[in-house]
Amino acid sequence: MKLRQSQSLQLKTKLSSTLRSWLPILQSGIEELEERLREYEKENPYMQVHSGFEEPFSAASSPKSFRHGERSSSTETIEALTLYRKSLYEMLEEQINAPLFPTPASERIAYAIIEEINDEGYFEGDLEAIARRLGVESGQVEKIRERFAYLEPSGVGARDAAEAMLFQLRQSDVEEPLYSLVAKMLEHFDRIGTFKSEEGYQEALNVIRTFKNPPALETMEASAPVIPDLVIVQSPEGIEVRINDAFYPDIRIEHHGEDHAFVRKKVKEARDLIDALQMRKATLYKIGLMIVEFQYDFFQGGDIRPMKLKDIAEEFDHNPSTISRAIANKYLMCDRGIFPMKSFFTAAVDEEVSNSAIKQFIAEAIAAEDRTKPLSDNRLLEMIEKRFGVKMVRRTITKYRKQMQIGGSSERKRFYRLA
């Protein structure tokens, strides 16, 4: 009996020490996981963390890759990751000088304008507020803003797409009379179709199509690559859930048989971390299995169904908040793309219809709409209520559309005309 109690206590102690490591490791995204393990490595001379991201770079850093005059895809990748790239604001500040801004006052106003330019290159500020702050007339601020039409990137500092294209026109080599026609069309962008009878209309339209929007498109930061924790693979045999082991860090224990209390303690800590890492994989794998089981229709091309965190929490005998942290910053890759795991636990419009299903319906309806008569939000509301049998309000449809960065019907109609 004493032996059994002793074994039970040892197992409980082992699980407790592993669980203490498991929660922070589980809650870390795959990109943060190695950093968290490195913190343990600093205090443990008997464990080494081997990066899951090292292999592509170790291949690229071999002497052969960097021979003088030679280039390879690996060296280009390294350059792309390490080459310093100026931000939009650094580019603009370098251009605040004569002849466009010849006085300290004009430079001060220009710097204030830069502070009100968003990442896309559009001016979002209030001229009156800037003028009050600097003690100048608002008309003076506007005159300085208009000089941004001659800065790079072309179109920066404009209030909207139409003005950004006007700014770009000023820097173009388009000649008269085409220049004047393009300018008039942009000044009346919301009624661009009324110029169809003008001579040179098609040529002017072709010029407008060459302008870039948003103006700071080339300087906008690229989205960081997303590394999924789970990969869903479909085959004739069915759907398979896989852990993305390729990017997982690896813990290795290195000691030479020393028998000392300190050594034993540190080796045990390293083994607990290895167990915690395996528990992380097992937990996410099980969550993946449950997602596939519950969202089977989605992986066959259907909609995401409402799925509650408490359903999985009960299965794991954990608090829903623990599961919520477990799926935070984790991604799942399947044939339909890469999705945040939390997107499968959507709030429901009702018990059978999720927000994601509504958004997907809106996106598909707009993609298939008659371009001469784009769907209004009211019309989309009618279609959704008929399709899903739910009651909603128009402002909810407008909110979903804006969240997906889709313009209103009148805005889409203008751009369809350009196309």
CB 270 within 8 A of CB 251: yes
Task: Please compute the mean of the pLDDT values over residues 372-382 and round it to a whole number.
Answer: 90
Q: What are the backbone angles phi and psi of residue 250, rounded to the nearest 5°?
A: -125, 135
Comparing C-alpha atoms, which of 161, 133, 156 is closest to residue 146?
Answer: 156
| pLDDT for position 14 | 46
| pLDDT for position 50 | 85
Domains of the chain, CATH where assigned: 53-83 (no CATH), 88-209 (no CATH), 230-342 (no CATH), 355-418 (1.10.10)
Q: What SS3 class is residue 20?
A: helix
Q: How far is residue 198's CA from residue 409's CA, in Å, rounded to a whole number?
A: 26
| pLDDT for position 17 | 57
CB 200 within 8 A of CB 151: no
Q: pLDDT band for position 55 (50/70/90)?
A: low
Comparing C-alpha atoms, which of 275, 227, 225 is closest to residue 30?
Answer: 227
* Strand 250-253 to 331-334 pairing: unpaired
Cis peptide leading into residue 24 (ω within 30°): no
| pLDDT for position 114 | 92
Task: Please compute the mean of the pLDDT values over residues 307-318 and round it to a whole number.
Answer: 76
Q: What SS3 class is residue 241?
A: strand
| pLDDT for position 325 | 77
Whether 318 shows a pLDDT value over 50: the answer reads: yes
User: How many C-beta neighbours within 10 Å does residue 373 have?
Assistant: 11
Whether 78 shows a pLDDT value over 60: the answer reads: no
Question: Based on the number of CB atoms within 10 Å of its own CB, is 223 exposed (0-12), middle (13-18) or buried (19 or more)?
Answer: exposed
User: How many C-beta neighbours within 10 Å does residue 129 have?
Assistant: 13
Paired strand residues for 87: none
Whether 245 shows a pLDDT value over 90: the answer reads: no
| pLDDT for position 140 | 94
Instruction: Encode pLDDT of 106-165 as tens digits.
Output: 999 999 999 899 888 999 888 999 999 999 999 999 999 999 999 999 999 999 888 999
Q: pLDDT band for position 75 (50/70/90)?
A: very low
Q: pLDDT band for position 403 (50/70/90)?
A: confident
Choose from 12-21, 29-38, 107-116 the range with maximum mean pLDDT. Answer: 107-116
Mean pLDDT of the chain: 79
Comparing C-alpha atoms, which of 283, 287, 397 is closest to residue 342?
Answer: 287
User: How many C-beta neighbours within 10 Å does residue 387 have?
Assistant: 13
Task: Please compute the mean of the pLDDT values over residues 226-246 and round it to a whole number.
Answer: 87
CB 92 within 8 A of CB 147: no
Instruction: Encode pLDDT of 269-299 as tens digits.
Output: 889 889 888 988 988 999 999 888 888 888 8
Instruction: Encode pLDDT of 258-268 as tens digits.
Output: 788 898 889 88
Q: What SS3 class is residue 157?
A: coil
Amino acid at 184: K
| pLDDT for position 392 | 79
Q: Write the DSSP assignment of 251-273 as a string of letters.
A: EEE---S---HHHHHHHHHHHHH
Q: How far is residue 408's CA from residue 363's CA, in Å, rounded to a whole number?
A: 12
CB 283 within 8 A of CB 275: no
Least confident of 4-18, 231-245, 355-369: 4-18
